[in-house]
Amino acid sequence: MGEVLFVILLTAATGVGGLALGGCLAALIKRQSHRGEALLLSFTAGLMLCIVSLDMVPEAVEAAEGMLWIVPVFLVIGFAVTWLLNCWIDKSAHHEVEGDPHQCACGHHDLHTAGIVLAAAVALHNVPVGMAVGATVAVEGVCWAAALAAVTIGLHNLPEGMSIAVPLIHDGSKTVSAIAVAALSGAPTVLGALAGYFVGSRASAALAGAMGLAGGAMLYVVFFELLPEASDRWKSKWTILATVLGFALGVALVLGLEH
């Protein structure tokens, strides 16, 4: 019961809290700093990549107990499912005016819809990402490794919370409402974490599969969302350095936790 409560509180604080904090930042600064966002996205990507490489995959291999094929297969499945999900969301969100493929139907009056669609997208892909925390607790119990994974999710959610709140605020929504929408999109993180915990605690093969799915989803977030978004916001070698620093910090933390 204690572990379940730990999973719920941890993912609520970093999943829901991270998006809510991002919404608050959007309300405070109004105008987003592209350089600051790029550095944060790159740093978070490095930290996430380290967790997948040095923590989640080794744990999945250990849990597989001879059935090592489970790990790469479920990594690919997790990546593919997240990619297909995001493709469907993008197709729904970026609809075109009929008869004119170059004109987008989303004008200023549709900013509210854009914000809601983005919130739904964030909510959907937070499910497999949240599984990483639950699966880690299933393996190691209440531990700092799970907290580290959750913190990276929270960091990743900061710019996403800002992205959700900005169009809503600019469309005339109340600040509190915009922050609430951003926060609610983090709720599925808790559901994903609980799924990862209960599946992982039932059998070692299921745990390896859950860790693989979550790892694949996180790899998609790193290589198809965080790094491209960072590059779009600021094309600079400083973003590469931020990624390296994020990975290095992850290595230091993972090695420190093991000792």
Angle between helices 70-93 and 57-64 (to 10 degrees): 130
For 181, the token pair is: 């929408």
Residue 87 falls within a domain, yes or no?
A: yes
DSSP 69-99: THHHHHHHHHHHHHHHHHHHHHHHHS-EETT
Q: Please give the full DSSP string across 118-157, using - where no structure is assigned.
A: HHHHHHHHHHHHHHHHHHHHHHH-S-HHHHHHHHHHHHHH
Task: List the beta bridge partners of residue 100.
Answer: 97
Domain range for 167 is 2-30+67-221
**Is position 146 within any domain?**
yes
- Give a yes or no: residue 236 inside a domain: no
Reading the block at residue 40, the tokens are 């944060």
pLDDT in tens, 122-161: 776 677 778 778 877 877 777 777 787 788 778 777 777 8
pLDDT at 103 over 50: no
- Rounded to an integer, the average pLDDT of 203-232 is 81
The answer to whether residue 180 is domain-embedded is: yes
| Within a domain: 83 | yes
Evaluate if pTM is beyond 0.75.
no
* 135 occurs within a structural domain: yes
Scan for tokens 């090592």, then name that residue.
68
- 150, part of any domain: yes
How far apart (Å, rounded) are the C-alpha atoms in residues 207 and 213?
A: 10
Does any domain span residue 58? no
Confidence of residue 117 (pLDDT cuts 50, 70, 90): low
As for how many domains the chain has, the answer is 1
Return d(Cα 49, Cα 225) in angstroms, integer. 13
Per residue in 53-95, pLDDT tens? 887 788 788 878 778 899 999 999 988 987 887 777 667 655 4
Q: According to the model, what pLDDT value does residue 97 have?
A: 39
